[in-house]
């Protein structure tokens, strides 16, 4: 499976500010995914990012709040904009494996706390 890194690993931010999370993969991948995991909850997909096109957002998530970039086949960023304490969560990027069964592999995550 691909090796995935994320930066920062954690951050504490003030209300109203924005944070950009980076995700780097050691091989080229077509799609990258961004998830949120709130405390005690499961994984919720925020959006799917394809290189060269606009990200596809899931219901309840909008581009103005979570802008995503995908400049090449190994890198993506997720920005959490105008943060509030409700945005405190773990943010995870993932990529698909190489089999035809669509398994996903996750980066180490970014733990965000908004005060």
Partner 1 sequence: QKEVEQNSGPLSVPEGAIASLNCTYSDRGSQSFFWYRQYSGKSPELIMSIYSNGDKEDGRFTAQLNKASQYVSLLIRDSQPSDSATYLCAVNMGGSYIPTFGRGTSLIVHP
Binding site for partner 1 (CB under 8 A): 1, 33, 41-43, 45, 48, 90, 92, 96-97, 99, 101-109, 111
Q: Which is nearer to partner 1, 73 or 81 (CB)?
A: 73
Contact between 44 and 53 (Cβ < 8 Å) = no
Omega within 30 of 0 (cis) for the link into 47: no
Contact between 35 and 94 (Cβ < 8 Å) = yes
Q: Which is nearer to partner 1, 14 or 39 (CB)?
A: 39
- Measured from the CB of residue 16, what is the shortest distance to partner 1 in angstroms? 27
């Amino acid at each position: 499976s691909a090796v995935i890194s994320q930066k920062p690993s954690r951050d504490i931010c003030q209300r109203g500010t924005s944070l950009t999370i980076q995700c780097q993969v050691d091989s080229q991948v077509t799609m990258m995914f961004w998830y949120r995991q709130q405390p005690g909850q499961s994984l919720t997909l925020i959006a799917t990012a394809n290189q060269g096109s606009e990200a596809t957002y899931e219901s309840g998530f909008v581009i103005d709040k979570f802008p995503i970039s995908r400049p090449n086949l190994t890198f993506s960023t997720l920005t959490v904009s105008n943060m509030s304490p409700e945005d405190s969560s773990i943010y995870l990027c993932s990529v698909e494996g190489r089999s035809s069964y669509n398994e996903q592999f996750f980066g180490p995550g970014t733990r965000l706390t908004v005060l």
